[in-house]
Amino acid sequence: MTHAMDDETFSQVLDTVRRFARERLVPAEPQLEALDDIPADIVQDMRDLGLFGLSIPEEYGGLALSTLQESQVVEALCYASMSFRSLVGTNVGIGAQGIVMEGTEAQKQQYLPGLASGELIASFALTEPDHGSDASHIRTSARADGSDFIINGTKRYITNAIRADVFTLFARTNPDDPGAGGVSAFLLPADTPGITIATPDKKMGQKGTKTSDVILEDVRIPADCIVGGPKNLNRGFRTAMKVLDRGRIHVSSMAVGTAQRMLDEALTYAMTRQQFGVPISDHQLVQGLLADCQAELAAGRALVRETARKYDATGAAALEASCAKYFCTEMAGRVADRAVQVHGGAGYMAEYPIERLYRDARLLRIYEGTSQIQQIIIARNIIKAAQGL
């Protein structure tokens, strides 16, 4: 069972985040796009609101939200550009959750208070140039050398790498096992000698997010930096999968938040834009586009909330998390497309927010497991269940 903040306090937190997203972040979106970075004063505001510590236990300075509560806060935050969320996302989700779920007490004491306050930034280094969705076959090697490991390899598209203070890094500790069983997860301080962070990537959308290659050359790290300690040697893939389940609920919530924003943009435009002497919202074909957005959005929101409830109740929801990630991110893509269509030619122009939101939404169907990987997971799960396995 996941502990949760009491309802009254949470209601206040959610209301604060909702107002912050709409009144502070939405007006700052043009500045974010122009700078390709998050303004420093907004970073500090996000620290002050406790947004870096949403999912970190209270005893380490976090807000200790349940998955359901986190889902609602992420949805509210992603009413504004999802790039703002990317700054806190690795601390709330994949960057820190391995420590929360599997870390030793010493590792928790060392990292979680700083991650909760936003003074430290965590990053999740799993993807490689040749292995993104197929995470079980990673090639980055961690060779035992006495009580240390020597790490060599390259990680790709690592969010917040350039900002990171600590990486949860996955490397192959058992070269004789080419699959999932030979991988360990390490907590790697970013200032360890031998780490090079490449220039941040230029991307289609989500300006202000920072992804980079991380190059590791003879990086020496003690065995007690394995997440959970040396007893978790060769169990890193299990850690990654546990973290990604909750991460997929998080991404589903992002998709719902941005879909709501895009629908609102389309609705506002349709009610003010006149064609044939009436607002275009009076035209039934435009109403059909808006209705499809609303129906799918409602379905996605219900699915992610129910999945979060199950995860909180049981600590696992692999099938449901994949269903939510697949449906909600594809839904956001369809809403983006219809919202541009409602805007007509204006939707293709950079002066309207929908042009940027459309580009930003495209990434949702790729990261933390592509839609195709989710389809494979869903199918395997239901086939196994039908076989009685």
Residue 352: count of CB within 10 angstroms of its CB: 17
**Can you give the CATH number for the domain in which 292 is found?**
1.20.140.10
Q: Are residues 111 and 172 in the same domain?
A: no
Between 93 and 232, name the one with better pLDDT: 232
148-159 vs 211-222, strand pairing mode: antiparallel
Catalytic residue among 29, 265, 296, 368: 368
SS3 string, 126-141, reads: CCCCCCCCCHHHCCCE
Collect all residues with Cβ–Cβ distance below 8 Å to 8 and sequence separation of at least 6. Answer: none
**Can you give the CATH number for the domain in which 23 is found?**
1.10.540.10
Query: Which residue is listed with tokens 């599997």?
Result: 102
278-279 vs 274-275, strand pairing mode: antiparallel
Q: Are residues 20 and 98 in the same domain?
A: yes
Q: Are residues 147 and 221 in the same domain?
A: yes
**For residue 12, is it within any domain?**
yes
Q: Are residues 244 and 333 in the same domain?
A: yes
Instruction: With cut-offs at 50, 70 and 90, classify the pLDDT of residue 389.
Output: confident
Q: Encoding tokens for residue 275?
A: 């064609």
- In this prediction, what percent of the chain has a pLDDT beyond 90? 90
**Can you give the CATH number for the domain in which 128 is found?**
2.40.110.10
Query: Which residue is listed with tokens 């069972």?
Result: 1
Q: Which of 181, 215, 234 is the last residue of a domain?
A: 234
Q: Encoding tokens for residue 194?
A: 């031998």
Q: At what angle do helices 67-77 and 82-92 cross, to 10 degrees?
A: 160
Q: Are residues 48 and 170 in the same domain?
A: no
In whole angstroms, what separates CA 117 from the centre of its chain? 18
**For residue 80, is it within any domain?**
yes
pLDDT at 1: 56
Q: From its phi and psi, is residue 369 left (phi > 0), alpha (psi between -120 and 50) or beta?
A: left
Q: Residue 273 gets which letter from DSSP?
A: -
User: In the Cβ-directed half-sphere of 256, how many Cα atoms lie within 13 Å?
Assistant: 25
37-86: per-residue pLDDT in tens? 999 999 999 999 999 999 999 999 999 999 999 999 999 999 999 999 99
Q: Are residues 219 and 111 in the same domain?
A: no
pLDDT at 235: 93
Q: Are residues 68 and 113 in the same domain?
A: yes
Q: Which of 191, 209, 234 is the last residue of a domain?
A: 234
Q: Are residues 257 and 316 in the same domain?
A: yes
Return d(Cα 211, Cα 87) in angstroms, integer. Answer: 11
81-121: per-residue pLDDT in tens? 999 999 999 898 888 899 999 999 999 999 999 999 999 99
Return d(Cα 102, Cα 167) in angstroms, integer. Answer: 15
Collect all residues with Cβ–Cβ distance below 8 Å to 333 and sequence separation of at least 6. Answer: 361, 362, 364, 365
pLDDT at 387: 95
Collect all residues with Cβ–Cβ distance below 8 Å to 288 and sequence separation of at least 6. Answer: none
Q: Which of 219, 234, 249 is the last residue of a domain?
A: 234
Q: Are residues 154 and 97 in the same domain?
A: no
Measured in residues, the chain has a length of 389
Q: Are residues 259 and 371 in the same domain?
A: yes
**For residue 64, is it within any domain?**
yes
Q: Are residues 166 and 283 in the same domain?
A: no
**For residue 1, is it within any domain?**
no
Residue type, 348: Y
- Residue-by-residue DSSP string for 192-208: STTEEEPPPPP-SS-TT
Q: Encoding tokens for residue 167?
A: 């990486």
**For residue 2, is it within any domain?**
no
166-172 vs 195-197, strand pairing mode: unpaired
Beta bridge partners of 152: 141
Catalytic residue check, 368: yes
Instruction: With cut-offs at 50, 70 and 90, classify the pLDDT of residue 125.
Output: very high
Structurally, the chain folds into a number of domains equal to: 3
Q: Are residues 246 and 382 in the same domain?
A: yes
Q: Is the pLDDT of residue 2 over 80?
A: no
Instruction: With cut-offs at 50, 70 and 90, classify the pLDDT of residue 4.
Output: confident
**For residue 328, is it within any domain?**
yes
**For residue 54, is it within any domain?**
yes
State how far the alpha carbon of 254 is from the alpha carbons of 74, 207, 251, 373, in Å. 6, 16, 5, 19
Instruction: With cut-offs at 50, 70 and 90, classify the pLDDT of residue 240.
Output: confident
299-354: per-residue pLDDT in tens? 999 999 999 999 999 999 999 999 999 999 999 999 999 999 999 999 999 999 99
Q: Collapsing DSSP states into helix, strand and coil, what is residue 227?
A: coil
Q: Collapsing DSSP states into helix, strand and coil, what is residue 122?
A: strand
* Mean pLDDT score, 183-201: 97
Threshold 0.85, pTM exceeds:
yes
**For residue 382, is it within any domain?**
yes
Domain that holds residue 37: 7-121
